[in-house]
Amino acid sequence: MGPNDIELVALAKVTQDGAAFTELVRRHQARLRAFLRRLCGSAHLADDIAQETFIKAYEGLTSFRGGASFRSWLYAIAYREFLQDRRREKAAARLKGALQTDASNIETSSAIEDGLSMDLRRALMGLEETERAALLLCDAAGLSHSEAARVLKAPLGSIKTYIARGRKKMRAALTGGSDKRPPETETMKTKAPAAHKGVIYAV
Amino acid sequence: MPSDNIEMLLQADFDDLAGRLENDRFEKRLQFRLAARSRARLGVIGLAGGLGAAFAASQFADLGRLAAPYLAKALPSYTVSIDTATQLSAAVVLAAAVITTALVLRQDT
C-alpha cells in the first residue's frame, strides 16, 4: 500500500519532491475537476481553476498543517479560487453563458459532452451557489458535512440546510415543479455511468 | 446509504465524469505550467545575478586605481600591475556569481 496523503505532503515538504506532489495531483485531480465542472458549468473554466488550485496548493504546501484532510484543504482552495474568479469582471464575462440559470442559455453540446442530462444540469444550475457547492461536495464528491463546512467556511448547521434545500429544489425542478421525488430509473439503480445522458427522466 | 434519488443521481454523474477525467493528461499540463513558472523564476535570478556581477566587476578597475598608492606603500615588493589585479578580481566575482546561480538552479530543480 502506498503512502497516504499526509505522508505524501510531508514528503513533498521535506524533500521539495515534485514526484510526491505529482502523486497527490494524480489522486485528486479527476474528482476535483468534476466538482468544479459541476459547480461552474464550464469545462474550460473549471480546468483553469483546477490548475490554479494545484499551483496555489504547491506554493502553499508549507502552510498545510495536517489538521484537516488534504482533500478538504484542496477543495477549500478550489472553492476560494472559484469565488475569486467569479468576482473578476473578466471571469464574469466568461461565465455569463455558463452560469445562466435560464434554460435557453444552456450549452447543449457542452452538457452532452459532459455526460450530464439537460434536466439535471438545469436543476443544478438553478440552485444558489452555496447550495450547489454543498450538494456537490456531500452528495456527489463524498465529503462529510464537517469537511464541507471547512471547505465552504460555513457552520455545520448551514451546510445541512443548504443540502436539504438544494435537494428539495432539485427534486422540484426534476419533477416539473411538484416537489416530490423523481422516479427511480434503471440508471440510478445500477449507477451505469453513461446511461443517463439526457434520458434520466425521459423514461 | 444514499438518502434519496438526488444523491444517487449526482453520485452516478459525478463518478462517471471523474472516471472520464482520470486519464486526460491534466497532470502533464499542470507539470508544464509549474515548470514554466520555475523556469521564469530561474531566468530572473540568473539575469539579476549576471547583471549584478557585471556591474560589480566594472567597478574593480576604479577601486584598484584608488587603492594602488596605498597598496604600493604597504606592499613595496608586490609588483603585479593594477590592471591584472582588477581583471583577476572581476573574473573571480563573475565566477562566484555563476556558481551561486548554478547552486540556486540545482536546488530548484
User: If you search the block for the grid coordinates 510531508, which residue do you land on?
Assistant: A10
DSSP secondary-structure letter at A62? Answer: G
Q: Does residue A98 sit within a domain?
A: no
Decide: residue A163, CB within 10 A, 0-12 exposed, 13-18 middle, 19+ buried. buried
Closest-approach residue (CA) in chain B for A193: B16
CA distance A145 to chain B (A): 14
User: Does this complex have an ipTM over 0.85?
Assistant: no
Q: Among residues A55, A73, A34, A48, which one has the least CA distance to residue A153? A: A73
Q: Does B26 touch chain A (CB under 8 A)?
A: yes
Q: What string of pLDDT tens digits covers the 109 residues of chain B?
A: 344 688 888 888 899 899 999 888 898 888 888 888 778 877 887 788 778 877 877 777 777 777 777 777 776 666 556 566 667 777 787 788 778 777 776 665 5
* pTM, to two decimals: 0.66
Q: CB pairs below 8 Å between A and B: how many?
A: 103
Q: What is the CATH number of the domain that holds A143?
A: 1.10.10.10
Angle at B26 between CA A195 and CA B109, to 5 degrees: 160
- Supply the mean pLDDT for chain B: 77
Residues A23 and A80 in one domain: yes
Handedness of CA A37, A43, A45, A47 (dihedral sign): positive
CA distance A95 to chain B (A): 21
Residues A76 and A110 in one domain: no
Spell out which residues of chain A touch residue B41, defining contact as CB-CB under 8 Å. Answer: none
In B75-94, the residues whose Cβ lies within 8 Å of chain A are none
Residue pair A85/A113 in contact by the 8 Å Cβ criterion: no
How many distinct structural domains can be found in chain A? 2
Written as nine digits, the cell of A178 is: 411538484
Note whether B16 contacts A35, CB cutoff 8 Å: no
How many C-alpha atoms does A97 have within 13 Å on its Cβ side?
11
Rounded-to-integer distance, Cα A34 and Cα B17, Å: 6
- Counting residues of chain A whose pLDDT is more than 90, the rounded percentage is 39
Residues A75 and A113 in one domain: no
Residues A66 and A146 in one domain: no
Q: Does B59 touch chain A (CB under 8 A)?
A: no
Sequence-distant (6+) residues with CB within 8 A of B93 are: B53, B56, B57, B60
Hey, is A101 helix, strand or coil?
A: coil
Residue pair A5/B10 in contact by the 8 Å Cβ criterion: no
Residues A9 and A70 in one domain: yes
Q: What is the CATH number of the domain that holds A75?
A: 1.10.1740.10
Handedness of CA A61, A67, A71, A74 (dihedral sign): negative
Q: Which of A27, A60, A86 is the last residue of a domain?
A: A86
Q: Does residue A95 sit within a domain?
A: no
Rounded-to-integer distance, Cα A29 and Cα A6, Å: 16
CA distance A155 to chain B (A): 21
Spell out which residues of chain B touch residue A136, defining contact as CB-CB under 8 Å. Answer: 10, 14
Q: Does B7 touch chain A (CB under 8 A)?
A: yes
DSSP secondary-structure letter at A191? Answer: T
Q: Among residues A129, A126, A131, A141, which one has the least CA distance to residue A33? A: A141
- Within A60-144, residue ranges assigned H as helices are 70-87, 89-98, 108-114, 118-125, 129-135
Residues A58 and A122 in one domain: no
Task: State yes or no: pLDDT of A186 exceeds 60.
Answer: no
Note whether B12 contacts A187, CB cutoff 8 Å: yes
Instruction: Provide the domain limits for residue A119.
Output: 103-198
What does the pLDDT look like over A27-53, one tens digit per residue? 999 999 999 999 988 899 999 999 999
